[in-house]
Structure 1
Amino acid sequence: MPEGIWWTSSGEGPAVVVPRLNVDWTAVDLSPLTDRFRVVIVSPRGFGPSERPGGYAMSGFVADIEQVLDHLDVDSYTAFGYSMNGVMAVRLALSSPRVVAVACGGFPLTADLAGMGDRARARNEAARHDPDAWAEVLATYDPVAAEAFWDDVAALPRNALADLDRPLRTWWGEEDALVASFLSPAELRSDLDARGIPYEAVPGLDHDGMLRRLDLVLPSVVDWLAVHLD
């Protein structure tokens, strides 16, 4: 039994792994996934309810998730996530041959991500001066873990998140200012079209709104995952 790592498993069938970093997936309706697949949600140490040892590396985050999958005898899976959790889903594919496909929403996969660790440190420093914001950060993750996560992502080669050797699908809200702050929607569409990566841009939704309305994209994402899991 993995110690210090929070995880849950629900549903039956081929496995879909959902990293829990800054989203509490237990509060999100994932029934379109759990109706067809075995959905394993895992918080690596430093995030969510898992232990916070204080020292972190991406290799440790991946190893924590893989340890849970070893315990559950999961040999292969697709990875699913949104925003930071979606990046972790892609990062799993870069590290593990178990991942057969990735569905990552709410993140511009072809953007220049240099400096992401510095941005995380700046966000954490700003939050420290607001007691409510800081309490929310600490309830979500160890700030040091988030900084280590984004430092790793910043060190990846440009387009490493998009140029996978496995199928990749993405989606975002057309009013997502966070996505647009990295890359214009036109550039993102062009990059994805050039790579043949399927995507959906949902009108009228910003970053948080898209997370609240996953029901708008989950049916098509589930069908896509099923093709690759079968």
Structure 2
Amino acid sequence: MAPLSDRYTVIQIEPLGFGWSDRPSDYPLAGVHEQVLAVLNQEGVDSFVVWGYSQGGAMALAIAQATPRVTGMVAGGWSPMGAPTDAWMRRADREQQIPIASRAFWRWYRRFDWLDELAAMQCPKLVYAGSGDRPRVSGPRGIPRARDALTQRGVTLMEFGGLDHRTCNTEPALSNSVVPAVLDWLDNCR
């Protein structure tokens, strides 16, 4: 957080049912983007960059899609072309090992054509992953296969060599590689 908070006001939000937040048995009708916007409204934030990693990267897309207040969208460890399959959703509902908040989010997310949504977003967009990331992100259905489609929609792509899904979001990679590269990208977007 230090490199970010030295230059920006950082507000870390964990929507209901994620991270350290409460885990309701019934997920509220308000989705992730409504919850994030409610917090930012409470804090008096008019415009912001949204950054998420893994499922949080998909959430960053959802928030950027929901409001013109987003001045930059960063999705790490997630390809906008990725989404859980019908079979995954059925298994998750049947086994109920995936929290209800996550299943609710994925149901909502799957309703959209994210290539169309990316094309409609007016803010700068960055998607990144480690070169050793799992196939869903960097494999056949992930970033390399979607590279042309994403760049045609104004998405900047970054790949961090030698990192995988876990190491791309932990120290020392965050301080030494990821955060400096994202900060440079943000500076160039201004």
Percent identity of the aligned residues?
30
- Show the counterpart of 2:123: 166
CA separation of 1:176 and 1:85: change in aligned 2, threshold 3 A: same
Runs (4 or more) in structure 1 with deviation over 4 Å come to 123-128
SS in 1 for 2:126: strand
| Residue matched to 1:113 | 83
Describe the SS at the equivalent of 1:165. coil
Distance 1:204 1:88, change over 3 A: same
Q: 2:22 matched to which residue of 1?
A: 51
Does residue 60 (structure 1) correspond to residue 31 (structure 2)? The answer is: yes
Partners of 2:148 and 2:9 lie apart in 1 by 34
Q: Which amino acid aligns with 1:223?
A: D
Change (3 A) 1:144 1:221: same
Cα shift readout 1:149-207 (whole Å, capped 9, x = no counterpart): 01111111252453223210111111112314561553232223333422211122221
SS of 2:166's partner is helix
Determine whether 1:202 maps to 2:171.
Answer: no
Which of 163, 181, 189 does residue 220 from structure 1 map onto?
Answer: 181
What's the TM-score, normalizing by structure 2? 0.83
Q: How does 1:1-230 map to 2 (within 5 A)?
A: 30-56=1-27, 59-109=30-80, 111=81, 113=83, 115=85, 118-120=87-89, 122=91, 128=97, 143-160=99-116, 162-163=118-119, 164-177=121-134, 178-181=136-139, 183=141, 185-212=143-170, 213-215=173-175, 216-228=177-189
Deviations 1:199-222, CA, capped at 9 Å, x for gaps: 211122221121122231211211
Q: Which runs of 5+ in 1 are unaligned?
A: 1-29, 129-136, 138-142
Q: Which amino acid aligns with 2:163?
A: L
In 1, distance between residues paired with 2:91 and 2:129?
A: 25
Whether the aligned pair in 1 keeps the contact of 2:92 and 2:103 (CA below 8 Å) is: no
Residues 92-144 of structure 1: CA distance to partner in whole angstroms, max 9, x if unpaired?
111122111101111111x253636x52553576685xxxxxxxx6xxxxx11
Unpaired runs of 5+ residues, structure 2, are: none
Q: Measure how far apart 1:75 and its partner are.
A: 0.8
**Equivalent-residue separation in structure 1 for 2:37 and 2:143 (angstroms):** 34
Kept after mapping to 2: 8 A contact 1:45/1:51: yes
Q: Mean alpha-carbon deviation: is it higher for 184-193 or for 204-213?
A: 184-193
Maintained 8 Å contact 2:125/2:154 = no
Q: What is the count of residue pairs matched by the alignment?
A: 185
Report the TM-score when normalising by structure 1: 0.70
CA distance in structure 2 between the partners assigned to 1:124 and 1:210 by the alignment: 30
Letter in 2 for 1:159: L
